[in-house]
Amino acid sequence: MSKSQFALYIHIPFCVSKCSYCDFCSFVPKLEQVTTYISALKQEIESAKEKTKGRQVSSIYIGGGTPSTLPAGAVEEIMACVRKNFDLVENCSITIEANPNSFDSEKAKEYARAGCNRLSLGLQSDNDKILKVLNRAHNFNDCVNAVQFALNNNINDINVDIMLGVPQQTKRDLEITLQKVIDLPITHISAYGLICEPNTPLTNAIRQGKLILPSDDEAVEMYDYTVDFLAKHGFKRYEISNFAKEGYRSAHNMNYWKRGEYLGLGLAAHSFYNGTHWHNTEDFTKYLQNPTNCREDIEHETIQTAKEEMIMLALRTTDGLDIEKYNNTFSCDFLQEYKSAINKLLENDLIQIKNGVVRIKNLYISNAIIAEFF
Ligand SMILES: C[S@@+](CC[C@H](N)C(=O)[O-])C[C@H]1O[C@@H](n2cnc3c(N)ncnc32)[C@H](O)[C@@H]1O
Ligand code: SF4
Protein backbone atom coordinates (compact mmCIF):
# COMPACT_ATOMS: atom_id res chain seq x y z
CA MET A 1 0.00 0.00 0.00
CA SER A 2 1.38 3.43 -0.86
CA LYS A 3 2.16 5.72 2.07
CA SER A 4 -0.15 8.65 2.71
CA GLN A 5 1.26 11.93 1.46
CA PHE A 6 1.40 15.57 2.43
CA ALA A 7 2.99 18.71 0.99
CA LEU A 8 5.71 20.74 2.69
CA TYR A 9 5.92 24.55 2.68
CA ILE A 10 9.05 26.31 3.94
CA HIS A 11 8.88 30.06 4.56
CA ILE A 12 11.86 32.36 4.07
CA PRO A 13 10.78 35.78 5.37
CA PHE A 14 13.57 37.88 3.82
CA CYS A 15 13.58 40.37 0.94
CA VAL A 16 16.13 42.81 -0.48
CA SER A 17 13.58 45.62 -0.23
CA LYS A 18 9.88 45.81 0.55
CA CYS A 19 7.49 46.19 -2.40
CA SER A 20 4.89 48.94 -2.07
CA TYR A 21 1.86 46.59 -2.18
CA CYS A 22 3.08 43.60 -0.19
CA ASP A 23 1.87 42.53 3.24
CA PHE A 24 3.37 39.05 3.16
CA CYS A 25 5.40 38.17 6.26
CA SER A 26 8.76 39.42 5.02
CA PHE A 27 11.37 42.06 5.86
CA VAL A 28 14.88 43.22 5.01
CA PRO A 29 17.11 41.33 7.47
CA LYS A 30 20.49 41.86 9.09
CA LEU A 31 22.99 39.10 8.32
CA GLU A 32 22.93 37.63 11.84
CA GLN A 33 19.12 37.35 11.66
CA VAL A 34 19.47 35.15 8.57
CA THR A 35 21.94 32.82 10.27
CA THR A 36 19.86 32.44 13.43
CA TYR A 37 16.70 31.91 11.35
CA ILE A 38 18.25 29.03 9.42
CA SER A 39 19.25 27.32 12.69
CA ALA A 40 15.74 27.77 14.09
CA LEU A 41 14.17 26.49 10.87
CA LYS A 42 16.38 23.39 10.93
CA GLN A 43 15.35 22.79 14.52
CA GLU A 44 11.69 22.93 13.47
CA ILE A 45 12.32 20.58 10.53
CA GLU A 46 14.00 18.06 12.85
CA SER A 47 11.17 18.23 15.34
CA ALA A 48 8.58 17.55 12.62
CA LYS A 49 10.19 14.20 11.77
CA GLU A 50 8.41 12.30 14.52
CA LYS A 51 4.88 13.43 13.66
CA THR A 52 5.28 12.67 9.95
CA LYS A 53 6.69 9.16 10.42
CA GLY A 54 5.34 6.63 7.92
CA ARG A 55 4.21 9.38 5.54
CA GLN A 56 5.73 10.84 2.39
CA VAL A 57 6.23 14.38 1.12
CA SER A 58 4.51 14.81 -2.25
CA SER A 59 5.78 18.33 -3.06
CA ILE A 60 7.90 21.05 -1.51
CA TYR A 61 7.52 24.81 -1.91
CA ILE A 62 10.24 27.12 -0.61
CA GLY A 63 8.48 30.48 -0.62
CA GLY A 64 8.59 33.86 1.00
CA GLY A 65 9.59 36.51 1.16
CA THR A 66 12.35 35.85 -1.29
CA PRO A 67 14.27 32.60 -0.78
CA SER A 68 16.84 33.67 -3.40
CA THR A 69 18.10 36.38 -1.01
CA LEU A 70 19.55 33.65 1.23
CA PRO A 71 23.36 33.49 1.29
CA ALA A 72 25.19 30.87 -0.80
CA GLY A 73 24.80 27.35 0.57
CA ALA A 74 21.70 28.03 2.70
CA VAL A 75 19.19 26.36 0.37
CA GLU A 76 21.39 23.26 0.09
CA GLU A 77 21.71 23.21 3.88
CA ILE A 78 17.94 23.46 4.38
CA MET A 79 17.20 20.81 1.74
CA ALA A 80 19.80 18.43 3.23
CA CYS A 81 18.02 18.79 6.57
CA VAL A 82 14.64 18.17 4.87
CA ARG A 83 15.90 14.98 3.18
CA LYS A 84 17.42 13.73 6.43
CA ASN A 85 14.14 14.11 8.27
CA PHE A 86 11.42 13.43 5.69
CA ASP A 87 10.68 10.72 3.17
CA LEU A 88 10.22 12.40 -0.25
CA VAL A 89 8.28 10.69 -3.07
CA GLU A 90 10.27 9.92 -6.18
CA ASN A 91 10.21 12.89 -8.58
CA CYS A 92 9.01 15.16 -5.77
CA SER A 93 8.14 18.58 -7.23
CA ILE A 94 10.41 21.09 -5.44
CA THR A 95 9.71 24.76 -6.17
CA ILE A 96 11.77 27.72 -5.03
CA GLU A 97 10.72 31.36 -5.35
CA ALA A 98 13.17 33.96 -6.58
CA ASN A 99 13.28 37.59 -7.57
CA PRO A 100 14.81 38.19 -11.00
CA ASN A 101 17.59 40.33 -9.52
CA SER A 102 18.59 38.06 -6.65
CA PHE A 103 19.08 34.94 -8.76
CA ASP A 104 22.25 34.21 -10.68
CA SER A 105 24.15 31.35 -12.27
CA GLU A 106 25.70 30.23 -8.94
CA LYS A 107 22.31 30.15 -7.22
CA ALA A 108 20.80 28.18 -10.11
CA LYS A 109 23.61 25.63 -9.72
CA GLU A 110 23.07 25.42 -5.97
CA TYR A 111 19.29 25.00 -6.28
CA ALA A 112 19.75 22.25 -8.86
CA ARG A 113 22.18 20.45 -6.52
CA ALA A 114 19.63 20.85 -3.72
CA GLY A 115 17.07 19.06 -5.93
CA CYS A 116 14.90 22.06 -6.85
CA ASN A 117 13.21 21.28 -10.14
CA ARG A 118 10.80 24.22 -10.39
CA LEU A 119 11.49 27.97 -10.20
CA SER A 120 8.94 30.70 -9.56
CA LEU A 121 10.06 34.19 -10.59
CA GLY A 122 8.28 37.38 -9.49
CA LEU A 123 8.37 39.61 -12.55
CA GLN A 124 5.04 41.50 -12.09
CA SER A 125 5.57 43.61 -15.23
CA ASP A 126 8.15 44.25 -17.95
CA ASN A 127 7.38 47.97 -17.74
CA ASP A 128 9.83 50.13 -15.73
CA LYS A 129 7.11 52.71 -14.94
CA ILE A 130 4.91 50.02 -13.34
CA LEU A 131 7.84 48.32 -11.61
CA LYS A 132 8.58 51.69 -10.04
CA VAL A 133 4.99 52.05 -8.77
CA LEU A 134 5.40 48.58 -7.22
CA ASN A 135 8.86 49.48 -5.84
CA ARG A 136 10.46 46.52 -7.59
CA ALA A 137 14.22 46.70 -8.01
CA HIS A 138 14.63 44.70 -11.24
CA ASN A 139 13.86 44.97 -14.94
CA PHE A 140 12.65 42.61 -17.64
CA ASN A 141 16.16 41.73 -18.75
CA ASP A 142 16.94 40.38 -15.26
CA CYS A 143 14.02 37.99 -15.75
CA VAL A 144 15.28 36.87 -19.19
CA ASN A 145 18.68 36.13 -17.61
CA ALA A 146 17.14 34.35 -14.61
CA VAL A 147 15.16 32.02 -16.89
CA GLN A 148 18.34 31.21 -18.80
CA PHE A 149 20.33 30.47 -15.61
CA ALA A 150 17.61 28.02 -14.55
CA LEU A 151 17.46 26.29 -17.94
CA ASN A 152 21.27 25.99 -18.06
CA ASN A 153 20.97 23.96 -14.87
CA ASN A 154 18.10 21.75 -16.00
CA ILE A 155 15.49 23.57 -13.98
CA ASN A 156 12.99 23.51 -16.84
CA ASP A 157 9.70 23.99 -15.05
CA ILE A 158 9.50 27.78 -14.62
CA ASN A 159 6.68 30.03 -13.43
CA VAL A 160 6.55 33.79 -13.87
CA ASP A 161 4.26 35.94 -11.68
CA ILE A 162 2.68 39.03 -13.18
CA MET A 163 0.20 41.54 -11.79
CA LEU A 164 -2.95 43.09 -13.28
CA GLY A 165 -4.87 46.20 -12.34
CA VAL A 166 -1.90 48.16 -11.01
CA PRO A 167 -2.13 52.00 -10.93
CA GLN A 168 -0.81 53.49 -14.19
CA GLN A 169 -1.05 50.11 -15.95
CA THR A 170 -2.99 50.36 -19.21
CA LYS A 171 -4.40 47.44 -21.17
CA ARG A 172 -1.71 48.09 -23.77
CA ASP A 173 0.99 47.83 -21.05
CA LEU A 174 -0.45 44.49 -20.02
CA GLU A 175 -0.60 43.24 -23.62
CA ILE A 176 3.12 43.98 -24.00
CA THR A 177 3.97 42.23 -20.70
CA LEU A 178 1.96 39.16 -21.68
CA GLN A 179 3.57 38.99 -25.13
CA LYS A 180 7.08 39.19 -23.64
CA VAL A 181 6.26 36.61 -20.96
CA ILE A 182 4.85 34.02 -23.37
CA ASP A 183 7.93 34.46 -25.55
CA LEU A 184 10.04 33.17 -22.63
CA PRO A 185 10.71 29.39 -22.53
CA ILE A 186 8.52 28.90 -19.43
CA THR A 187 5.77 26.46 -18.42
CA HIS A 188 3.51 28.38 -16.04
CA ILE A 189 2.19 31.91 -15.44
CA SER A 190 0.46 33.28 -12.34
CA ALA A 191 -1.44 36.50 -13.09
CA TYR A 192 -2.62 38.14 -9.88
CA GLY A 193 -5.10 40.99 -9.73
CA LEU A 194 -3.68 43.63 -7.37
CA ILE A 195 -5.09 43.31 -3.86
CA CYS A 196 -4.93 46.65 -2.03
CA GLU A 197 -3.75 45.44 1.35
CA PRO A 198 -4.44 47.86 4.23
CA ASN A 199 -1.59 50.10 5.39
CA THR A 200 0.79 49.38 2.56
CA PRO A 201 2.48 52.39 0.90
CA LEU A 202 0.64 51.64 -2.37
CA THR A 203 -2.80 51.51 -0.74
CA ASN A 204 -2.04 54.73 1.19
CA ALA A 205 -0.96 56.50 -2.01
CA ILE A 206 -4.23 55.39 -3.69
CA ARG A 207 -6.27 56.61 -0.70
CA GLN A 208 -4.52 59.99 -0.86
CA GLY A 209 -5.29 60.26 -4.58
CA LYS A 210 -1.58 60.20 -5.53
CA LEU A 211 -2.11 57.08 -7.62
CA ILE A 212 -5.26 55.96 -9.42
CA LEU A 213 -6.41 52.38 -9.88
CA PRO A 214 -7.76 51.25 -13.24
CA SER A 215 -11.59 51.30 -13.17
CA ASP A 216 -13.52 48.06 -12.44
CA ASP A 217 -14.39 47.79 -16.14
CA GLU A 218 -10.76 48.19 -17.13
CA ALA A 219 -9.68 45.58 -14.55
CA VAL A 220 -12.27 43.07 -15.87
CA GLU A 221 -11.12 43.77 -19.42
CA MET A 222 -7.50 43.12 -18.42
CA TYR A 223 -8.39 39.84 -16.74
CA ASP A 224 -10.52 38.60 -19.66
CA TYR A 225 -7.83 39.58 -22.14
CA THR A 226 -5.22 37.68 -20.07
CA VAL A 227 -7.32 34.51 -19.99
CA ASP A 228 -7.97 34.60 -23.78
CA PHE A 229 -4.45 35.58 -24.76
CA LEU A 230 -2.76 32.97 -22.60
CA ALA A 231 -5.14 30.22 -23.79
CA LYS A 232 -4.30 31.09 -27.41
CA HIS A 233 -0.63 30.66 -26.55
CA GLY A 234 -0.91 27.31 -24.80
CA PHE A 235 -1.25 28.47 -21.19
CA LYS A 236 -4.58 27.09 -20.05
CA ARG A 237 -6.20 28.57 -16.97
CA TYR A 238 -6.77 25.99 -14.23
CA GLU A 239 -7.42 28.30 -11.27
CA ILE A 240 -8.54 31.96 -11.05
CA SER A 241 -4.99 33.30 -11.36
CA ASN A 242 -3.00 30.29 -12.61
CA PHE A 243 -2.20 29.21 -16.16
CA ALA A 244 -0.12 26.24 -17.27
CA LYS A 245 1.16 24.54 -20.35
CA GLU A 246 -0.16 20.97 -20.72
CA GLY A 247 1.24 18.82 -17.89
CA TYR A 248 2.71 21.74 -15.92
CA ARG A 249 0.09 22.63 -13.33
CA SER A 250 1.66 23.39 -9.94
CA ALA A 251 1.49 20.10 -8.02
CA HIS A 252 1.94 21.96 -4.75
CA ASN A 253 -0.94 24.36 -5.30
CA MET A 254 -3.19 21.66 -6.71
CA ASN A 255 -2.76 19.88 -3.38
CA TYR A 256 -4.09 23.00 -1.57
CA TRP A 257 -7.10 23.26 -3.84
CA LYS A 258 -7.89 19.56 -3.42
CA ARG A 259 -7.81 20.02 0.35
CA GLY A 260 -4.71 17.85 0.66
CA GLU A 261 -2.66 18.09 3.84
CA TYR A 262 0.32 20.40 4.10
CA LEU A 263 2.85 21.17 6.78
CA GLY A 264 4.19 24.72 6.88
CA LEU A 265 7.56 25.30 8.51
CA GLY A 266 9.14 28.64 9.32
CA LEU A 267 7.88 32.05 10.42
CA ALA A 268 4.14 32.54 9.89
CA ALA A 269 3.83 29.35 7.85
CA HIS A 270 0.33 27.87 7.60
CA SER A 271 -0.50 24.19 8.03
CA PHE A 272 -3.41 21.82 7.54
CA TYR A 273 -2.43 18.49 9.02
CA ASN A 274 -4.33 15.68 10.75
CA GLY A 275 -7.61 17.60 10.48
CA THR A 276 -6.18 20.74 12.11
CA HIS A 277 -5.40 24.21 10.75
CA TRP A 278 -2.84 26.51 12.38
CA HIS A 279 -0.10 28.96 11.56
CA ASN A 280 3.24 29.62 13.20
CA THR A 281 3.80 32.90 15.01
CA GLU A 282 4.45 35.96 12.85
CA ASP A 283 6.74 37.39 15.53
CA PHE A 284 10.35 36.87 14.44
CA THR A 285 11.80 36.99 17.99
CA LYS A 286 9.20 34.54 19.30
CA TYR A 287 9.91 32.16 16.42
CA LEU A 288 13.65 32.22 17.09
CA GLN A 289 13.04 31.56 20.79
CA ASN A 290 10.77 28.61 20.24
CA PRO A 291 10.54 27.36 16.64
CA THR A 292 9.12 23.99 17.67
CA ASN A 293 6.31 25.37 19.78
CA CYS A 294 4.93 28.56 18.26
CA ARG A 295 1.57 27.57 16.79
CA GLU A 296 -1.29 30.06 16.80
CA ASP A 297 -4.96 30.02 15.81
CA ILE A 298 -5.19 26.24 16.11
CA GLU A 299 -8.54 25.10 14.70
CA HIS A 300 -9.77 21.53 14.49
CA GLU A 301 -11.94 21.06 11.46
CA THR A 302 -15.58 20.12 11.82
CA ILE A 303 -17.69 18.44 9.17
CA GLN A 304 -19.21 21.83 8.37
CA THR A 305 -15.87 23.65 7.99
CA ALA A 306 -14.50 20.76 5.93
CA LYS A 307 -17.52 20.89 3.62
CA GLU A 308 -17.25 24.66 3.19
CA GLU A 309 -13.56 24.42 2.51
CA MET A 310 -13.99 21.76 -0.15
CA ILE A 311 -16.62 23.88 -1.92
CA MET A 312 -14.60 27.08 -1.67
CA LEU A 313 -11.33 25.57 -2.90
CA ALA A 314 -12.77 23.40 -5.68
CA LEU A 315 -14.86 26.23 -7.15
CA ARG A 316 -11.71 28.36 -7.58
CA THR A 317 -10.47 25.83 -10.13
CA THR A 318 -11.61 25.02 -13.65
CA ASP A 319 -11.87 21.35 -12.56
CA GLY A 320 -14.76 22.48 -10.36
CA LEU A 321 -16.49 20.55 -7.59
CA ASP A 322 -17.01 16.85 -8.17
CA ILE A 323 -20.42 16.16 -6.62
CA GLU A 324 -19.85 12.43 -6.16
CA LYS A 325 -16.55 13.05 -4.38
CA TYR A 326 -18.24 15.55 -2.07
CA ASN A 327 -21.13 13.16 -1.36
CA ASN A 328 -18.80 10.21 -0.69
CA THR A 329 -16.50 12.25 1.54
CA PHE A 330 -19.31 13.56 3.72
CA SER A 331 -22.00 10.86 3.21
CA CYS A 332 -24.54 13.43 2.12
CA ASP A 333 -26.32 14.87 -0.92
CA PHE A 334 -24.74 18.11 -2.17
CA LEU A 335 -27.59 19.02 -4.53
CA GLN A 336 -30.14 18.63 -1.75
CA GLU A 337 -28.03 20.35 0.90
CA TYR A 338 -27.41 23.48 -1.18
CA LYS A 339 -30.63 23.36 -3.20
CA SER A 340 -31.62 26.99 -2.79
CA ALA A 341 -28.14 28.44 -3.48
CA ILE A 342 -27.75 26.16 -6.50
CA ASN A 343 -31.15 27.09 -7.93
CA LYS A 344 -30.46 30.80 -7.50
CA LEU A 345 -27.02 30.54 -9.15
CA LEU A 346 -28.38 28.40 -12.03
CA GLU A 347 -31.28 30.83 -12.63
CA ASN A 348 -28.78 33.69 -12.85
CA ASP A 349 -26.54 31.66 -15.18
CA LEU A 350 -23.58 31.97 -12.77
CA ILE A 351 -22.73 28.27 -12.43
CA GLN A 352 -22.92 25.24 -14.66
CA ILE A 353 -23.53 21.62 -13.63
CA LYS A 354 -22.33 19.11 -16.21
CA ASN A 355 -21.38 15.44 -15.85
CA GLY A 356 -21.62 15.64 -12.07
CA VAL A 357 -19.31 18.66 -11.77
CA VAL A 358 -20.20 22.19 -10.60
CA ARG A 359 -18.23 25.01 -12.19
CA ILE A 360 -18.35 28.77 -11.87
CA LYS A 361 -18.92 30.40 -15.26
CA ASN A 362 -16.97 33.60 -14.59
CA LEU A 363 -14.08 32.95 -12.23
CA TYR A 364 -13.37 36.68 -11.94
CA ILE A 365 -16.39 37.00 -9.64
CA SER A 366 -15.90 33.64 -7.91
CA ASN A 367 -15.72 35.11 -4.39
CA ALA A 368 -19.23 36.52 -4.65
CA ILE A 369 -20.55 33.26 -6.09
CA ILE A 370 -18.87 31.05 -3.49
CA ALA A 371 -20.34 33.29 -0.76
CA GLU A 372 -23.83 32.17 -1.88
CA PHE A 373 -23.10 28.70 -0.46
CA PHE A 374 -22.48 29.96 3.08
C1 LIG B 1 5.02 36.46 -1.87
S2 LIG B 1 5.54 36.81 -3.43
C3 LIG B 1 6.97 35.81 -3.50
C4 LIG B 1 7.82 36.00 -4.74
C5 LIG B 1 8.89 37.03 -4.64
N6 LIG B 1 9.09 37.51 -3.35
C7 LIG B 1 8.56 38.19 -5.54
O8 LIG B 1 7.79 39.05 -5.11
O9 LIG B 1 9.09 38.24 -6.63
C10 LIG B 1 4.46 35.92 -4.51
C11 LIG B 1 3.65 36.75 -5.45
O12 LIG B 1 2.54 37.26 -4.81
C13 LIG B 1 2.04 38.33 -5.57
N14 LIG B 1 1.54 39.35 -4.64
C15 LIG B 1 2.09 39.75 -3.48
N16 LIG B 1 1.32 40.71 -2.91
C17 LIG B 1 0.27 40.93 -3.74
C18 LIG B 1 -0.87 41.82 -3.72
N19 LIG B 1 -1.06 42.67 -2.73
N20 LIG B 1 -1.73 41.75 -4.75
C21 LIG B 1 -1.55 40.87 -5.75
N22 LIG B 1 -0.50 40.03 -5.84
C23 LIG B 1 0.40 40.06 -4.84
C24 LIG B 1 3.18 38.84 -6.44
O25 LIG B 1 2.88 38.62 -7.79
C26 LIG B 1 4.35 37.95 -6.02
O27 LIG B 1 5.15 37.61 -7.10
S1 SF4 C 1 9.81 40.67 -3.05
FE2 SF4 C 1 7.90 39.45 -2.91
S3 SF4 C 1 7.66 38.94 -0.74
FE4 SF4 C 1 9.24 40.55 -0.89
S5 SF4 C 1 8.15 42.44 -0.53
FE6 SF4 C 1 8.16 42.09 -2.75
S7 SF4 C 1 6.26 40.92 -3.21
FE8 SF4 C 1 6.60 40.85 -1.00
Within 90-135, residue ranges assigned H as helices are 105-113, 128-133
Quick count: other Cβ atoms within 10 Å of Cβ 59?
24
User: pLDDT at position 1, please?
Assistant: 46
Same domain, 244 and 155: yes
Specify whether the CB–CB gap between 15 and 66 falls below 8 A.
yes
Q: What is the pLDDT of residues 148-161, one digit of tens each?
A: 999 999 999 999 99
Q: Do residues 267 and 25 make contact, with C-beta atoms less than 8 angstroms apart? A: yes
**Integer Cα distance of 366 and 351 in angstroms:** 10
Q: Find the 19 Cα to ligand 2 centroid distance in Å.
A: 5
State the CB neighbour count (10 A cutoff) for residue 135. 15
Distance 341 CA to ligand 2 centre (A): 38
CA of 26 to the centre of ligand 2 (A): 7
| pLDDT tops 60 at residue 289 | yes
| 121/237 same-domain check | yes
Nearest to 155 by CA among 27, 68, 254, 242: 68
In this structure, are strands 262-265 and 5-12 parallel, antiparallel, or unpaired?
Answer: parallel
Kindly write down the DSSP assignment for every residue of 299-361, as one continuous string.
EE--HHHHHHHHHHHHHTBSS-EEHHHHHHHHTS-HHHHTHHHHHHHHHTT-EEEETTEEEES
pLDDT band at 2 (very low <50, low <70, confident <90, very high): low
Domain assignment present for residue 129? The answer is yes
Which ligand approaches the C-alpha of residue 13 most closely? 2
- CA 141 – ligand 1 centroid, Å: 19
Mutate to test the pocket of ligand 2, among 26, 27, 61 (most ligand atoms within 8 A of CB): 26
> Cβ contacts of residue 105 below 8 Å, gap of 6+?
149, 152
Looking at the chain, the number of H-run helices and the number of E-run strands are 15, 15
- The residue from 227, 257, 287 where one domain ends is 257
Q: Does residue 22 have its Cβ closer than 6 Å to ligand 2?
A: yes
Same domain, 71 and 190: yes
Task: Ligand 1, residue 163: give the atom nearest the CA.
Answer: 25
Residues 126 and 220 in one domain: yes
CATH number for position 344: 1.10.10
309 & 214 share domain: no
- Residue of the nearest CA to atom 7 in ligand 1? 122
Task: Assess if residue 277 is contained within a domain.
Answer: no
**How does residue 167 score in pLDDT terms, banded at 50, 70 and 90?**
very high
What is the number of the ligand closest to the CA of 63? Answer: 1
| Within-domain flag for 185 | yes
How far is ligand 2, taken at its centre, from the CA of residue 23, in Å?
8
Ligand 2 touching residue 24 (CB < 6 A): yes
Which tens digits make up the pLDDT trace of 41-96?
A: 999 999 999 989 999 999 999 999 999 999 999 999 999 999 999 999 999 999 99
pLDDT of 101 above 70 = yes
> Quick one: pLDDT at residue 118?
98
pLDDT digits (tens, 9 = 90+) for 107-126: 999 999 999 999 999 999 99
Of the listed ligands, the closest to the CA of 124 is 1
- Distance, CA 204 to ligand 2 centroid (Å)? 17
pLDDT of residue 316: 96
**Domains: count for the chain:** 2
In a domain, 278, yes or no: no
Ligand 2: centre distance to CA 264 (Å): 19
Q: Which atom of ligand 2 is nearest to the CA of 135?
A: 6
CA-closest candidate to residue 148, choices 105, 90, 202, 201: 105
Q: Which is nearest to 175 in space by CA: 244, 229, 121?
A: 229
Give the per-residue pLDDT at 3: 73
Rounded to an integer, the average pLDDT of 332-347 is 95
Residue range(s) defining the domain that contains residue 358: 303-374
Residue 122 in contact with ligand 2 by CB distance below 6 A: yes
Mean pLDDT, range 118-142, rounded to an integer: 97
298 is a domain residue: no
Angle of CA points 182, 187, 193, to nearest 5°:
65
Q: Which of 201, 234, 257 represents a domain boundary (last residue)?
A: 257
Pocket of ligand 1 (CB under 6 A): 21-22, 24, 64, 66, 97, 99, 122, 124, 161, 163, 192, 194-195, 197
Q: Which one of the ligands is nearest to 67 CA?
A: 1
Q: CATH number, domain at 96?
A: 3.20.20.70
Domain boundary among 236, 257, 278: 257
Residue 329 has pLDDT above 60, yes or no: yes
| Ligand 2 in reach of 364 Cβ (< 6 A) | no
253 shares its domain with 322: no
Residue 95 near residue 250, CB atoms below 8 Å? yes
Is the CB of 65 inside a 6 Å radius of any atom of ligand 2?
Answer: yes
Q: Does residue 97 have a pLDDT over 90?
A: yes
Q: Does residue 282 sit within a domain? A: no
Residue 265 lies in a domain: no
Q: Which pLDDT tens digit goes with each residue over 199-219?
A: 999 999 999 999 999 999 999
Residue nearest to atom 13 of ligand 1 (CA): 192
86 plus 205 within the same structural domain: yes
26 CB under 6 A from ligand 2?
yes
Question: Is 93 inside a domain boundary?
Answer: yes
The number of the ligand 1 atom at minimal distance from the alpha carbon of 99 is 9
